[in-house]
Amino acid sequence: MDCPKAEVLILNFSSNEYFLSPFLDDMPKLRALILINYSTSNIVFHNLSVFHNLNNLRSLWFEKIYVPQIFDTTIPLKNLQRVSLILCDIDTGLDQSAIDLPRIFPRSSELAIDHCINLNKLPSSICRMHTLKILNVTNCDSLQELPADLGKINFLQLLRLYSCLNLKRLPVSIGHLVWLKYLDISQCVTMGCLLEGVYGARATDEGAGVWGFWAEGTCLGIGWSRF
């Protein structure tokens, strides 16, 4: 297939393994790549080297794949701005020191993780993604802990942790997110309380507001916004 002017590519497949075709090398103008697996199990990709020439890629959508192989790649996606991981197997039981997100996604401003499995803890290297402005982690039942240094994501403006049923607390460093405008921990039913540091993120801002729903000491839904 020869499509040198293609800017958007959607690949649908149903398999446990998939060899990424070399024709991706011949799509220098590709801006959005969407890979969707309809198999009952997560897919393993081969030939990740095809990403090497996708210098204009801005958006990447992975659905139902085995993610650690992506973490292992040595190819930085230098202009990628948005990354979406949907129904993926994250497998954070692997060596966290080997996961270098800011090297792979050096300019990403938005990261979305939804309905993913084996995500017990966000990789600690996410705290060095200083270009990140939007972080959505939703419907990840296995998530139990956030990195202690999450507050080092200097320019984070939106943090959504919706329906992470086993997430028990927010890190104290979240109070250092001075640009944070919106925080959503709705349906994080095991979270006990909202840390004082959240209010301190922009305590002097008159537009800040906290809303929440509680029942018998359990957080059914709570959010913080500043607009």
Determine the residue type at 193. Answer: C
User: Taking the alpha carbons of 212, 213, 217, 218 in that order, is the dihedral positive or negative?
Assistant: negative
On the 0-12 / 13-18 / 19+ scale of CB atoms within 10 A, 195 is middle
Task: Answer left, alpha or beta for residue 139, where phi above 0 means left and psi between -120 and 50 means alpha.
Answer: left
pLDDT tens digits along 41-81: 999 988 888 888 888 999 999 999 998 777 776 678 889 99
Q: Calculate mean pLDDT across residues 158-179.
A: 92
What is the domain-level CATH number for residue 38?
A: 3.80.10
> Is the full-model pTM beyond 0.75?
yes
| 226 domain residue, yes or no | no
Q: What is the pLDDT at residue 134?
A: 97
Q: Is residue 182 assigned to a domain?
A: no
- Supply the mean pLDDT for the chain: 83
Which residues form the domain of 67?
Answer: 8-143
Task: Decide if 189 is inside a domain.
Answer: no
Number of domains forming the structure of the chain? 1
